[in-house]
A and B are shown apart, each in its own frame.
Chain A
């Protein structure tokens, strides 16, 4: 009985080691900015190579890479963090993948009648922004500065998706988010446009992780994401695709 149990355990351990080893070799591990979640998940379903995504705020991903997290591809929501990653020797060969614009998100039906950026300064209006610590928060503040609108937010969210969630629950009157976030949230929210003259473009960059042991497949995924299918998926999700 005891021996049989030991044999079973040994077999299980060997099996799990082999399968872990195989999937490690086969799957491309992609660290991507949280705002890419929907587009990349869709992309992953038609990718020619197996992929495994980790989504988080760009600075958090960089921190994980610095601490030695195993990854093959990094996709950031801004140029600044990608430059940091290159300077730190974490990644090589960064290229622009797509761009994203800002929009105002309001609960479905726009109950507070927000018509544009200037309305965000209205006293009593509950506005959510991202915290200035995340790239998206910097973009939103740049936009408000350009539009010369002073906003006192009721909350500064640290997670890109949290602003849209609070709008769809109706707990805020308006929030500044990415166009892609509004698209992803569907019918629960409504978009109010921000004119190009004051809008800020976020640049998404993609690069190979220097310590990757799966460079061939990682390159294949990057080419796929930047290729015809990738561009279509990104555009469908509201990104501006570089031509």
Chain B
């Protein structure tokens, strides 16, 4: 604000920006725009898009319901194993998604440690849309927990205490005080979670497989198209890129509390 940035900083920042921008420019420049309308009208594309929206929104919903309580516990309470739990939450972020998919198979597959019970109860997750939602939730949940936990930490916990002394119950305090203050973090966490789930590929194809109309989401469609119709793969990639970029721009740095 007060001083001009050093030329070294500016130079390296320009290199960084170019490094991020160049591959995207490559995609956009190679996309066969003339055939775009026809490609995007193909039923396979529309099916994959619909499925991608269902799976990513489903994963976001699960992350909201399960991730917010976990974030509250981590942000506001001290208990043994808290550090371990926080590390655990971050694990899906650093794990190769394919490994996540294998892990899900060994846990929730019909021969998995918990999947056997599900299987006997008539619930099958592998190779189903529900399985694709679960795979997305597994890799995207950390984004929700981390964002909401950071949001909670920046809130003044004494406001909750004040509400309590004024006679508000736990649920009322949460709904009328915590939740409204937390809204920006929830939006940011939701958007990041959704964007991550939308781009999810490795865990999905490993755990839920690839069945048109059930688990073949847009990223899997891109991967398959690359095998035989590279032009189409580029076009689909550009579309996915556009959607993700729109979401991230709409956040305007909100999750970091930036202006």
Interface residues of A (CB under 8 A from B): 57, 59-60, 63, 126, 128, 131, 133-134, 153-158, 162, 166, 169-171
Given contacts A126-B127, A169-B105, contact A153 B211 (CB under 8 A): yes
Question: Could you say which residues of chain A place their CB within 8 Å of the CB of B212?
Answer: 156
Residue of A nearest to B111 (CB): A170
Residue of A nearest to B233 (CB): A63
Question: Could you say which residues of chain A place their CB within 8 Å of the CB of B226?
Answer: 59-60, 63
Name the residue in B205, B208, B210 with the highest tally of chain A Cβ atoms < 10 Å from its Cβ: B210
Question: Could you say which residues of chain B place their CB within 8 Å of the CB of A156?
Answer: 209-212, 216
A59 to B225, CA, bound (A): 10
A126 to B131, CA, bound (A): 15
Given contacts A131-B210, A153-B211, A156-B211, contact A59 B106 (CB under 8 A): no
Given contacts A63-B230, A158-B224, contact A169 B106 (CB under 8 A): yes
Interface residues of B (CB under 8 A from A): 105-106, 109-111, 126-127, 205-206, 208-212, 215-216, 220, 223-228, 230
Residue of B nearest to A56 (CB): B227
A59 to B127, CA, bound (A): 25
What are the 3 closest A-B residue pairs judged by CB atoms, nearest first?
A155-B209, A154-B127, A133-B227
Residue of A nearest to B115 (CB): A171
- Asked if B209 and A154 sit within 8 Å, CB to CB, the answer is yes
- Asked if A131 and B227 sit within 8 Å, CB to CB, the answer is yes
Q: How far is the CB of A222 from chain B (nearest CB, A)?
A: 26
- Asked if A169 and B211 sit within 8 Å, CB to CB, the answer is no
Question: Could you say which residues of chain B place their CB within 8 Å of the CB of A157?
Answer: 205, 209-210
- Asked if A169 and B109 sit within 8 Å, CB to CB, the answer is yes
A185 to B224, CA, bound (A): 25
Residue of B nearest to A157 (CB): B210
The 8 Å CB contact of B210, one of A126, A158, A170, is: A158
Question: Could you say which residues of chain A place their CB within 8 Å of the CB of B206?
Answer: 162
Question: Could you say which residues of chain B place their CB within 8 Å of the CB of A63?
Answer: 226, 230
Question: Could you say which residues of chain A place their CB within 8 Å of the CB of B111?
Answer: 169-171
Q: How far is the CB of B211 from chain A (nearest CB, A)?
A: 5
Residue of B nearest to A134 (CB): B227
Question: Could you say which residues of chain A place their CB within 8 Å of the CB of B126?
Answer: 171
14 contacts between A and B (CB under 8 A): A59-B226, A59-B227, A131-B224, A131-B227, A134-B227, A155-B215, A156-B211, A156-B216, A157-B205, A158-B223, A158-B224, A162-B205, A170-B110, A171-B111
Q: A158-B210, A169-B111, A171-B126 are in contact. List 10 more A-B contacts (CB 8 A).
A: A59-B228, A60-B226, A128-B209, A131-B210, A155-B209, A155-B215, A156-B211, A158-B227, A171-B105, A171-B111
